[in-house]
Amino acid sequence: MERSDPPKSRPTKGKSKAGKRYERPRGMGARRLGELVPDIGRAAFRKFGFVQSSIVTRWPEIVGAQHARTCQPERIRFARGRKDGGTLELVVLPAHAPMIQHVTPEIVERVNRFFGYNAVAQVKLRQGAVKAPERKAPAAPPSLKPIPVELGDSLRDIGDPELRAVLEGLARGLTNQTPD
C-alpha cells in the first residue's frame, strides 16, 4: 500500500499587527561593510554603557591630549530610564589620579558640552592601565605639480582652506589622468 504525503505548501510568512503579511524587501543588494560597522559598534557600546561611541573615539578632542594620555572613559552609567545626570567612569594612571581628581569639574563640563546637555553629573575614578591614544600618521606632502591656470584662478576665491586644499587635490588628480 502506498502512503501519500500531504502536498508540500510554501511556508507562510507571519502577519504583522495590522493583519497584513510581512514580506522581506527585495532588491536591496549587498551592503558595504563600512555601512554596517557603525550599527554594530553602536550596539556594542550601548551594551557596555556608552550612549554615544564617539566619546571614546574622540576622547583626546574632548579633554585634551594631556589628559587623554593619563585617563580614558570606561563607561557612563545612567539611572534607569534616564539619559542625563549619569556617572562617567574613568580609568586613570595611578600616579595621575590626584591631578585628574582635581580637574574633574572641567572634565564634566567638557563632556557635557560635547553631548550638548547635562549627560554627566559626577565622575568615578578607577586606577589602572591606560592605552596611549593612537597617533595619526602625518599627512602626505602636497603634490608639487602645478595646478592648471584656469582651475587655479577659480580656487583662489574659496575662503575655507580645507575645502580649497581638497579641490586643489582633485584638480591635480584630473590633470594626471591620461585620455584613453
Q: What is the pLDDT of residue 42?
A: 60
Distances (CA, A) of 44 to 40, 50, 52, 86, 120: 6, 9, 11, 19, 20
pLDDT tens for residues 13-64? 555 556 677 666 666 667 676 666 666 666 665 555 455 667 888 899 899 9
- Position 160 pLDDT exceeds 90: no
Pairwise CA distance, residues 80 & 158, whole Å: 50
Distances (CA, A) of 47 to 39, 71, 75, 76, 99: 13, 21, 10, 11, 30
- C-alpha closest to that of 144 among 177, 174, 168: 168
Residue 130: DSSP 8-state: -
Confidence of residue 166 (pLDDT cuts 50, 70, 90): confident
β-bridge partners, 15: 21
Confidence of residue 164 (pLDDT cuts 50, 70, 90): confident
pLDDT tens for residues 108-155? 999 999 888 898 999 999 999 988 766 666 666 655 566 666 666 677
- Give the chain's domains with CATH numbers: 44-127 (3.30.300.20)
Q: Is the pTM of this model over 0.75?
A: no
Whole-number average pLDDT of the chain: 76
Strand ordering across the sheet containing 120-127: 71-77, 86-92, 120-127
Distance between alpha carbon 116 and the CA centroid of its chain, in Å? 16
pLDDT tens for residues 66-119? 999 999 998 888 888 888 888 999 999 999 999 999 999 999 999 999 888 898
Contact 77, 86 (CB under 8 A): yes
Distance between alpha carbon 16 and the CA centroid of its chain, in Å? 34
- Position 168 pLDDT exceeds 70: yes
